[in-house]
Amino acid sequence: MSTNSIPVVTTGSGRRNRGRKVAVIGSGSWGTTFAKVLSDAGCEVTVWARRPEVANEIQVARRNSQYLPGINLPKNLKATGDLAVALKGAQLVFLAVPSQTLRQNLIDLEPFLDRRSVLVSLVKGVERTTTMRMSEVIADTLDIGPERIGVVSGPNIALEIAKEQPTGAVASCVDLHVAQEIAMACSAPYFRSYVNTDVIGTELGGVLKNLIALAIGIVDGVGYGENTKAAIITRGLAEMTEFAVASGADPATLSGLAGLGDLIATCQSPLSRNNTAGRLIGQGYSQEETREQMQQTAEGITSVPPVLELARERGIVMPIVEQVQMVLSGTMAPKHLGPHLATEDDVPRPELTLGGGQTSRWQRFVNRLKGSPA
């Protein structure tokens, strides 16, 4: 089931969502955009904003001028700075806060959370201090079962979606019925939802593509062309897939919307935060200067160290991500970052690619992980 994402039939989704109360925790560009998607899908949506002035602007002016300039928000979309108000009666709680603050946000909202609510991560990051994925942070902090934890991921550039440009995403939960409920809640006319039960693969696709997008931004900032970028994207997908499979994901998930789809969008869009951060670093700006210019969180920068820590524990070689870390730490000049084989030396080897029948290298790799004969 998890290997093939199944589309959710969206006909009449507005009627099915009538009366469905949902909350969005976080009012940045993605949180506000996703709240718009949910509202346009027919849900009753309340956004929680950390800053009262942002909540007031959304509630009164139907705008979030800092993060979504020029976008008119739905008239029935509510906003508040009070967690108790935002969470009251919410069947689904969508989390759209920075990865490194998620745990504290969960601690803050727990007293107001309905014991039947499903929590859905929209966050594409890894907790730096624990190397946990966001779904793991939710489970660890709130002590709830996996059937109440979901993730949504895909090629989702916030401003494009806010402008109602068509796209798709994957809603994932170990309980297929819950995944379908999540997908139905966010099935707007311009937002196509699919479902699977591969939470690990869906979540890691969103995490890992940010690291490759940083690399693309860096070489773009240096001035390298499309050949270099294509090589990095292709080899980056191989690194992503090998890491995800070693973590328990289905390799096919990484070739879908949550993997390849998200990778393409993030690597090629000038609206991508991680691409933008990489480009500024490639042009010679420091990390601090990059943060000041962007005024938004580039999750890839904080995810590089914990991902590499996990990769080393699992015996996975990630040359591109290693080079990104070297650029970020100042031990490699941006102009030296380039595509390399996923090997520890310079000996040419066959590509590790998807496909190739039952005896493909991916299948042998999976068999090795399972302890089966090659």
Q: State the DSSP string of 27-88.
A: -SHHHHHHHHHHHHTT-EEEEE-SSHHHHHIIIIIS--TTTSTTPPPPTT-EEES-HHHHHT
pTM: 0.87
pLDDT value, residue 341: 41
pLDDT score of 29 more than 70: yes
| pLDDT greater at residue 343 or residue 105 | 105
pLDDT value, residue 351: 66
pLDDT score of 374 more than 70: no
Per-residue tokens: 303: 């995810």
pLDDT score of 30 more than 80: yes
Q: Can you tell me the mean pLDDT for 328-346?
A: 73
Instruction: Round the average pLDDT of the chain to a whole number and report it.
Output: 89
pLDDT value, residue 339: 58
- Is residue 278 within 8 A of residue 218, CB to CB? The reply is yes
Return the domain boundaries, the chain. 6-197, 207-370
pLDDT value, residue 348: 67
**How far is the C-alpha of 156 from the C-alpha of 252, rounded, in Å?**
19
**How far is the C-alpha of 293 from the C-alpha of 290, rounded, in Å?**
5
pLDDT score of 360 more than 60: no
| pLDDT greater at residue 156 or residue 3 | 156
Pick the catalytic residue from 78, 124, 209, 229.
209
Q: Can you tell me the mean pLDDT for 167-181?
A: 97
DSSP 174: S
**How far is the C-alpha of 68 from the C-alpha of 339, rounded, in Å?**
35
CATH number of 6-197: 3.40.50.720
- Is residue 264 within 8 A of residue 233, CB to CB? The reply is yes
pLDDT score of 373 more than 80: no
pLDDT value, residue 222: 93
pLDDT-above-90 percentage for the chain: 75
pLDDT score of 19 more than 90: no
pLDDT score of 340 more than 60: no
195 beta partners: 6, 171
DSSP 133: B
Of 157, 233, 237, the C-alpha closest to 204 is 237
**How far is the C-alpha of 267 from the C-alpha of 275, rounded, in Å?**
6
Catalytic residue flag (residue 209): yes
**What are the contacts of 337-340 at 24+ separation with CB within 8 A?**
337/215, 337/218, 337/219, 337/222, 338/219, 338/224, 338/228, 338/231, 338/232, 339/228, 339/231, 339/232, 339/234, 339/235, 340/235
**How far is the C-alpha of 97 from the C-alpha of 124, rounded, in Å?**
10
3-state helix, strand, coil in the chain (%, to 5): 50, 10, 35
**207-370 belongs to which homologous superfamily?**
N-(1-d-carboxylethyl)-l-norvaline Dehydrogenase; domain 2 (1.10.1040.10)
According to DSSP, the β-strands at 167-172 and 191-196 are: parallel
b or e along 140-169 (b: 16 or more beta carbons within 10 Å of the residue's beta carbon)? ebbebebebbbbbbbbbbbbbbbeeeebbb
pLDDT score of 347 more than 70: no
- Is residue 104 within 8 A of residue 73, CB to CB? The reply is no
CA 299 to chain centre: 9
The residue type found at 366 is V
Beta-carbon contacts of 40 under 8 Å, excluding residues fewer than 6 positions away, are: 74, 164, 188, 189, 190, 191
Q: Can you tell me the mean pLDDT for 182-186?
A: 97
pLDDT value, residue 288: 82
